[in-house]
Structures are given as C-alpha cells and as structure tokens.
Amino acid sequence: MRPPVLDPLFAPVSSLNGVGPKIAKLLSDFIGFHPDREATVADLLFHLPSGLIDRRHRPGIAYSESGQIVTLDVTIDRHQAPPRESRAPYRITAFDDSGSITFVFFHPRRDWLMQMFPEGERRIVSGKVEWFNERPQMVHPDYVVSPEEAETMPALEPVYPLTAGLSPKTLQKAINSALERVPHLPEWLDAAWQSQNLWPELDDALETLHRPQEQEDLSPASPALSRLAYDELLASQLALAMVRATMRKLGGIARKPSGTLQRSVIDALPFALTGGQQSAIADINADLAEPVRMLRLLQGDVGAGKTVVALAALAQVVEAGGQGALMAPTEILARQHFASMTPICEKVGLRLALMTGKDTTRERRLTQEKLDAGEIDILVGTHALFQGTVTFKDLALVVVDEQHRFGVHQRLALSAKGRGVDVLVMTATPIPRTLLLSSFGDMDVSRLTDKPAGRKPIATVSVSLDRLEEIISRVRAAIGSGQKVYWVCPLVEESEKIDLAAVEDRHQVLEQVLGQRVSLVHGRMKADEKEAAMQSFKSSETRVLVATTVIEVGVDVPDATIIVIEHAERFGLAQLHQLRGRVGRGDKPSTCVLLYKGPLGETAGARLNIMRQTNDGFLIAEEDLKLRGGGEILGTRQSGTPGFRIANVEDHADLMEVARDDARLVLEKDPELKSERGQALRCLLYLFSRDEAIRLLRAG
C-alpha cells in the first residue's frame, strides 16, 4: 500500500485553498497525470514555473528595452480620457528623470484609474514596456503602488504555464497552499551521489523551484531542478527495470530448433539478405535459444527490410513448435504484411492467417478454432489482436511493427497471452539512444544500418505552392513515362474538416487536370474503401494516390518513384522522413517534392533544409531532437519527453544514464525494495505514478 507519509501529496487539488470544483476540473485536465482522476497536490507541485519575472529591474523609462518587464518610479502627469462612447484606449502619461511614458488601458474603469494614478503624485509601476514610434508605453501595467506600499509588490514572481480560465493568481494561491502540505520524505537518493551534486532534499527543491530567488534557480542544471529530474528518471528506470526483471523471472522458453525452416524462408526470398538483416536474425536466434524472454527492438530506417527479419524470427519459433503473431498499427498495414508474406509462407509450408476488425463473427470464430488447434502458425493483425479475447495454443513470439508508442503496460498484457512470450518490436523511427532509454529502458537493440543493394537515393526538392502547376505538369510527364506518384496532404486534427475538404479538392483537381482516375485514401474512409484504393494503386490501375498521412507507416509500393508532400511546412521532420521513405524502394531513382506554403518560419525552414541535405534517418532524428524535442520524434503532441513531466532528454541525458545504472544496482542488491533505501524508493515510485512497478510490488 502507499506509504502514509505520502498522503498529503495525494490529496485532491480541490482540497487546496481557493480551488473549487471548477478550478479542480481545469487543473485536472491541464496538469493531471491520470486522465480519469482528479489532479493531486503532487501533480500541482510538479507543475513548475516556466520563467521568472524580476521586478527589481529598474532601468528608468528611457533605458527600458522594448519587450522587457521593468519597474518604474514615476510621477503621474495627466490623464487623456477618450470620449465615453469611443473605443479608443484611455491613456495616462507619466515621467521620471530620464523620460516620459504612456500607460494604456482598454475598456477602463475610470474612477479606479483616477484613484490609482492621481495626477502629480509618485507611483511605482511595473509591467512590460513596448516602444512604438520611438515612444515607450505600457499596456495594462501589472502593478501600481504608492511609494509607501512598494514593499507589497513581490520582487520576484514565478511564471507558470497557464490554460484558459486559470488565472496566475488562482494558480499561485493553490501552489502556495500545496507547498505548505509538502511532508519531509525519507531520502531515496544515494547519499554520496546526492552530496557530490550538492542536491537539496525534495521538499527544499520544491520550495526553491516554486519560490525562486534567481533566474538560475529554474535552469535545467540548477541543483533543485536536476534533483527533481533525476528523481523522475530514477523512478522511470526503476519501474522499467522491475518490469524487465519480472518478465525475465517469469521465464522464457529456450527455443533451439535446427533452423531448417528459417533457412528455407531465407532461400525462398528473391534477394540476398543484407549484412544488417543477417546479424539481426543472428541476434534474435541467440535470444530465442536462451531460457529468458527476448525483448528486442529492431531499428531500421524505412525500406531497410525489417519485415523479412520478422518472418525469419517467426519461422524459428514455429519450427520449435510455437506460434507467432505479427501486430501492425493499421489495418492497411496488416493486410499488406499478410499479402507480402503469403507467397513465401506458402512456399515453405508456414500456415499464415489474417485477423482484422472487419472479420465477421463466423470468420473470427473459425480463426479462433484454428488458433486453438494449432493449425495457424502465424497470425497477422492489428493491435485488436491483443485487446480482445483471442487465445493461442502456444504463443511463442509477438512481433510488433512500427509501434514505437508501445508502452510497458501493453508489454505486460502481451506476456499474459502465452508462456514466456518473446517480443520483437520493430520501428522505423530512428530513436536516439537517450530517448530509447527513457521509453524502453534497457532494451536490447538490433539495427539495420545498411539498405538493400541497388537502392537509388531519393532526390529531395522543396518548392513553393505558387509553383503548383509546374509540379502537376511534371507529375503528368512522369506518369506518362510509366511512373507512379504519391500525393500527400496533411490532416491535422484541429482543422480536420477543412483538411478533409482540401484532400478531396486536390483529388478532384488532379483527376481533372491529369485526365485519369486517381486513387484517394483518407482516415474517414471505411477500411474496405481504403483497401480498394490502395489496391488499385498497387496494381497500377491508377498511377496517382492522393492520401492523408495514413500512408505514413510501412506502406510498400516498390514501383512508386515520386512523392509530393503538400504543406510540407506543417509536418515534423520524423514524419517527413517517414513519408519520403515510401519511395526509393525499387531500383529506379526517386524524387520527393516538398511543396510548402510560404513564408516559412525558422523551424519549418530548417526542417526542409535538413530534408534536402540528407537521407540518413539517424542524422535526421538527432536534428529533430534539437529542433523540437522528444515529443515530436515519438509522435506525441506534448512538448518535452513523452511520459515525463520534469526531465527531458535534451537537458538531462547524462542523468538518464546514471539513473539506469542506479536502478540496476538497487535491484541487484534489493530486488524487493525491502531495505531502508528500498522503502524510500517505494515512495518515489508512487510519487511519480509508476503504476506498473507498483502493481508488481503489490503482487510480490
């Protein structure tokens, strides 16, 4: 059970001063960690200031820079009130030794202004200065006080990320009240490590971060923030290590077949394996032969040939008497895997089946019967495979394709479907090492760094949308010479309707201008409509496929040689790279056209430049990390590192490595967290809501 010392931190936010049901709901949506529960005092305390306003900055009117927050000691000159019915702002001029300034108010309460800014008197005014036409002004100052009251104005004010309806004042009040609740917790940090870093205790760290005295207190490298980031990283690494240890303890099954079936699969391929594919298969075979569970990530850029590695791995467990499953993130991909694997499986006698959400009850039942009877060797499907009631006779290996968002929870769910199930996760997203560590922990990795022989590089150009006609006529020429073209339009959730219209529009225009049928795929279509559209493009019945980003992952049409990405400025780097990987899969040179709508922002411009300069997915991932942070790479929307509230991979990469080693050592010495430090670490796991680990503690 949760250590009682934590109780004050797990109280709901509505128990805090000034937090009624409405604010509690706002806060829960905004900062809550569990979507279905009210945010807690701890959640609020982990909502850290993003900056600090220093009201001690008193440069004088003439020396105030535009955009800066300053405090001015002024004499009020006069009020310039607009006529009552006018919408013009109310202005008050004031001066000091260095110059004069205008305070500007919209929709003013006149008597209040008269009272606050009495003409001819001195006032201390603080707020943001802006210069227009070489004159300084301040719109709605933050503070106005008389010289006698100057002390009441806070010298330093933390600034928090806010959401609509949440005022800084309300939030500050709630946080002040939360700070009073912080208990003194047992220390979980290694004493030597803590003192070496001069890190404060947790309660002091929270105090420093919420009541900063200097800008530096909030910097990622400050002792207070480093400590909190380390705490979070340690909690995460400890949880991952515990899950991993449990999975290993549950035991794997040593599968050491002769390898005949795998060899016949490889022999049946119309090409020779790359070096990377060979060594990945060797890694996997070695894992499977061990009596511990495999948990391996297969990383390979788009088009690197991961599917073949998966098939070889599946063949290996099937020869050893088990069953395998391949899980794809979308139905299109599941069908595509099924279609591309079928010929080889037929040749070597592997019994392959497909299960999707579209199956009729009867089909589903039939498949289930065959699975139970062991008459299916490999089942291909969407992740629905593992949500429902599907059972296997002897599930030995699960391959998860392109699903880098796959979390620890799902991993545990998978292991429940069989005894000692081995897991292979395949991803085309070249996840940088630090990010890998943060989301998968200490996972084994095989990388396909070489591309299949004969691949031609993809030429990438960026072109303004103004030149659309030119691009269309080039597309016409290309299809005239027998080529095939993807045309991608963005689909962003917030403006889904508009974007959908844009895709349909583009589709119509292209059909008209090109004078032939063009395929269309978007997220609102039914699965069979999508499938039919993909099929006509694949079979070359149509030569152009207009699509939203549903084609992003894994779609394989080797003879497509051109991809046009419309509104390229709206895509992230990782996504652009994924999309570009749809071409360049055959032996013909390919082109990627990044069609952008100018003017380009700085980051968007940088992204398109990187795309033009390199095809190297790892390089792109590193650049992406620099430009946008980890969230973009893992495809999640929030900023910062997915799954983390305080730590982020850019600033705290070194700490991540230490936390990993720390967690490993702790579990070696004290696997059940029973020692004094172990008990304190239990608090840490609760504090950072590492539920998966907590569940293991309870079960243990």
CB-CB contact of 385 with 323 (8 Å): no
**Identity of the residue, 303 or 642, whose beta carbon is nearer to ligand ADP in the bound complex:** 303
Which range in 10-18, 296-304, 640-648, 672-680 contacts ligand ADP by CB under 6 A? Answer: 296-304
User: Does 428 sit near ligand ADP (CB under 6 A)?
Assistant: yes
Q: How far apart are CA 552 and CA 532, in angstroms?
A: 18
Strands 90-95 and 100-105: antiparallel
User: Does 308 sit near ligand ADP (CB under 6 A)?
Assistant: yes
- Residue 367: CB minimum distance to Mg ion, A: 23
CB-CB contact of 196 with 226 (8 Å): no
User: Does 694 sit near ligand ADP (CB under 6 A)?
Assistant: no
Residue 185 Cα to chain centre, angstroms: 31
* 378-382: strand order across its sheet: 352-355, 378-382, 323-328, 395-401, 422-427, 295-300, 444-448
**Identity of the residue, 93 or 535, whose beta carbon is nearer to ligand ADP in the bound complex:** 535
User: Does 418 sit near ligand ADP (CB under 6 A)?
Assistant: no
User: Does 445 sit near ligand ADP (CB under 6 A)?
Assistant: no
- Residue 301: CB minimum distance to Mg ion, A: 10
**Identity of the residue, 303 or 629, whose beta carbon is nearer to ligand ADP in the bound complex:** 303
108 binds, among Mg ion, ligand ADP, none (CB under 5 to 8 A by kind): none
**Identity of the residue, 204 or 450, whose beta carbon is nearer to ligand ADP in the bound complex:** 450
Strands 143-145 and 122-132: antiparallel
- Residue 327: CB minimum distance to ligand ADP, A: 14
Residue among 577, 609, 612, 535 at smallest CA distance from 303: 577
Which range in 75-83, 266-274, 457-465, 536-544 contacts ligand ADP by CB under 6 A? Answer: 266-274
69 binds, among Mg ion, ligand ADP, none (CB under 5 to 8 A by kind): none
94 binds, among ligand ADP, Mg ion, none (CB under 5 to 8 A by kind): none
Q: From residue 615, how far is each of 294, 301, 313, 573, 678 by CA, in Å?
A: 31, 10, 28, 11, 47
**Identity of the residue, 227 or 296, whose beta carbon is nearer to Mg ion in the bound complex:** 296
Which range in 268-276, 312-320, 403-411, 691-699 contacts ligand ADP by CB under 6 A? Answer: 268-276
User: Does 305 sit near ligand ADP (CB under 6 A)?
Assistant: yes
**Identity of the residue, 430 or 554, whose beta carbon is nearer to Mg ion in the bound complex:** 554
Residue among 409, 382, 380 at smallest CA distance from 397: 380
The helices-and-strands tally (H runs, E runs) of the chain is: 25, 21
User: Does 306 sit near ligand ADP (CB under 6 A)?
Assistant: yes
User: Does 556 sit near ligand ADP (CB under 6 A)?
Assistant: yes
**Identity of the residue, 275 or 321, whose beta carbon is nearer to ligand ADP in the bound complex:** 275
Residues 6+ apart with CB under 8 A from 397: 288, 294, 313, 314, 316, 317, 322, 324, 325, 421, 422, 423, 424
- Residue 307: CB minimum distance to Mg ion, A: 5
User: Does 328 sit near ligand ADP (CB under 6 A)?
Assistant: no
**Identity of the residue, 543 or 585, whose beta carbon is nearer to ligand ADP in the bound complex:** 585
For the packed helices 649-669 and 676-687, what is the interaxial angle rounded to 10 degrees? 140
Buried b (16+ CB within 10 A) or exposed e, 252-284: bbebebebebbebbbeeeeeebbebbebbbebb
Residue nearest to ligand ADP (CB): 305
- Residue 336: CB minimum distance to Mg ion, A: 9
Q: Retrieve residue 327's tokens.
A: 């899980």
Among 222, 274, 356, 689, binds ligand ADP (CB under 6 A): 274
Which range in 231-239, 300-308, 491-499, 692-700 contacts ligand ADP by CB under 6 A? Answer: 300-308
In the DSSP assignment, the letter for residue 12 is B
Q: How far apart are CA 102 and CA 55, in angstroms?
A: 19
User: Does 300 sit near ligand ADP (CB under 6 A)?
Assistant: yes
User: Does 584 sit near ligand ADP (CB under 6 A)?
Assistant: no
Neighbour-count burial of 195, counting CB atoms closer than 10 A to its CB (0-12 exposed, 13-18 middle, 19+ buried): exposed
Which range in 67-75, 269-277, 371-379, 470-478 contacts ligand ADP by CB under 6 A? Answer: 269-277
172 binds, among ligand ADP, Mg ion, none (CB under 5 to 8 A by kind): none
- Given its phi and psi angles, is residue 567 left (phi above 0), alpha (psi -120 to 50 degrees) or beta? left
136 binds, among ligand ADP, Mg ion, none (CB under 5 to 8 A by kind): none
Q: How far apart are CA 320 and CA 260, in angstroms?
A: 10
Angle ∠(696,699,700) on CA atoms, nearest 5: 80
Q: How far apart are CA 414 and CA 402, in angstroms?
A: 16
CB-CB contact of 314 with 326 (8 Å): yes
- Residue 391: CB minimum distance to ligand ADP, A: 28
- Residue 425: CB minimum distance to ligand ADP, A: 13
| Residue appearing with tokens 């991979």 | 649
Q: Site map for ligand ADP, 218-257, x if CB under 6 A?
A: ----------------------------------------
Which range in 129-137, 189-197, 205-213, 550-558 contacts ligand ADP by CB under 6 A? Answer: 550-558
| Residue appearing with tokens 């279905």 | 36
Which range in 65-73, 208-216, 552-560, 608-616 contacts ligand ADP by CB under 6 A? Answer: 552-560
Collect contacts of 172-175 with beta carbons under 8 A, ≥24 apart.
173/17, 173/18, 174/13, 174/16, 174/17, 174/18, 174/19, 174/23, 174/27, 174/44, 175/44, 175/45, 175/47, 175/210
User: Does 178 sit near ligand ADP (CB under 6 A)?
Assistant: no
Q: How far apart are CA 534 and CA 322, in angstroms?
A: 33
170 binds, among ligand ADP, Mg ion, none (CB under 5 to 8 A by kind): none
**Identity of the residue, 308 or 408, whose beta carbon is nearer to ligand ADP in the bound complex:** 308
Among 271, 347, 517, 598, binds ligand ADP (CB under 6 A): 271
Consecutive H or E run containing 283: helix 275-289
Residues lying near Mg ion in the complex (CB under 5 A) are found at: 554
Q: How far apart are CA 239 and CA 685, in angstroms?
A: 7
**Identity of the residue, 288 or 298, whose beta carbon is nearer to ligand ADP in the bound complex:** 298
Among 538, 577, 580, 585, binds ligand ADP (CB under 6 A): 585
Main-chain phi, psi angles of 51, to 5 degrees: -170, -175
Which range in 98-106, 109-117, 270-278, 529-537 contacts ligand ADP by CB under 6 A? Answer: 270-278
Please tell me whether residue 569 adopts helix, strand or coil conformation: helix
112 binds, among Mg ion, ligand ADP, none (CB under 5 to 8 A by kind): none
Residue among 528, 524, 531 at smallest CA distance from 549: 524
Among 322, 324, 452, 630, binds ligand ADP (CB under 6 A): 452
**Identity of the residue, 339 or 463, whose beta carbon is nearer to ligand ADP in the bound complex:** 339
Binding site for ligand ADP (CB under 6 A): 271, 273-274, 277, 300, 302-308, 428, 452-453, 554, 556, 558, 585
